[in-house]
Structures are given as structure tokens and as C-alpha cells.
Amino acid sequence: METIYYYQSPVGRLQLTANNDALTTLRIVNDCHCGLEPQSPAHTIIARTCKQLDEYFSGERKTFDLPLAPVGTAFQQKVWALLLQIPYGKTISYAQLAQSAGNPKACRAVGSANGKNPVAIIIPCHRVINTGGKWGGYAYGLDVKKQLLELEGVQ
């Protein structure tokens, strides 16, 4: 059984979904007309996620320590695992990510997998930029990507 919880963050309302074992999604849902949940979520993984998000947004946390279970293809899983290796406050290009994934010509496929990341922020797809330093796209808009990167000290 999955539990859904809404968390109000500096970048908008986040929908957190977890099963009994892991966080399965974190989506930004600013257009959601749903109410916010009580201050203290009862679900253990959701509560841990909220605490770590509070710490991240206050600048106290640089890495997340949560069980994750994003659903995707084997290639997407590989890309998402590589995203988890990008340090806080650092960025890499889609080309570098494709190289790390073992296929330097797979920039578009890597970009697609990056865009389908179901656990935004925690799996830091916002840290991937275009070659040459331009920020490129982001599933939740460039304003959110800019906020996250600036929070991490990336200019």
C-alpha cells in the first residue's frame, strides 16, 4: 500500500509517495488543489523524508539518506543511480552523464531518463546542465532548477 503526503517547500508543493519500504516518488505539484497534510506525517519514510527536506532547504543537509524505489527501465535506473553520485553544489553535463552511463552518444536518451526521474530533488536531476554551462531544461521549469542550484551555491 502506498501513502501520499503533501509537503510545502520553498520551490512549491511536493507530493511524496512511499510504500512500506521506500520513497517511490517526489513530484512538484504546484497546480494541485489538494490540502496540506498535518504537520507530522505518521508514515515513517514520509516523516524521514520531510525531516531531511527541511534540513536540505535550510542548508543543513547536503546528501539524503532515504530508501528509494523509483520505477523505471533498466537504463533509467542506471541514469538515476549516476545522478545520485553528483555532489551537492556541483553540476555535470548531459554529455558527461552519457559518458558515465557507458554510451557517449546517448545524450538524448540520458536527457529523457533525467526528465523522467520520479524522485526529484533527492535524485538530483537538477544538477545536470547543457555542455557549455547553460542550465538547459527541467521538468518543473527553469525557475525551480535555478532555485535548487542557487540553494546549493551553483551560480
DSSP β-bridge partners for residue 93: 129
pLDDT (tens digit per residue) in 91-112: 999 999 999 999 999 999 999 9
Which residues constitute the domain of residue 46? 3-57
The yes-or-no answer on residue 34 being catalytic is no
Q: What is the pLDDT of residues 121-137, one digit of tens each?
A: 999 999 999 988 788 88
CATH for 81: 1.10.10.10
pLDDT tier at 36 (50, 70, 90 boundaries)? low
Which is the catalytic residue, given 32, 50, 107, 125? 125
89: left (phi over 0), alpha (psi -120 to 50) or beta: left
How far CA 48 is from CA of 85, 125, 134, in Å, comes to: 21, 21, 34
Query: Quick one: 87 and 128 in the same domain?
Result: yes
Domain for residue 69, yes or no?
no
Number of domains into which the chain is organized: 2
Q: Please say if the pLDDT value at position 33 is more than 80.
A: no
Together in a domain, 9 and 34: yes
Angle between helices 107-115 and 74-83 (to 10 degrees): 80
72/14 Cα distance (integer angstroms): 20
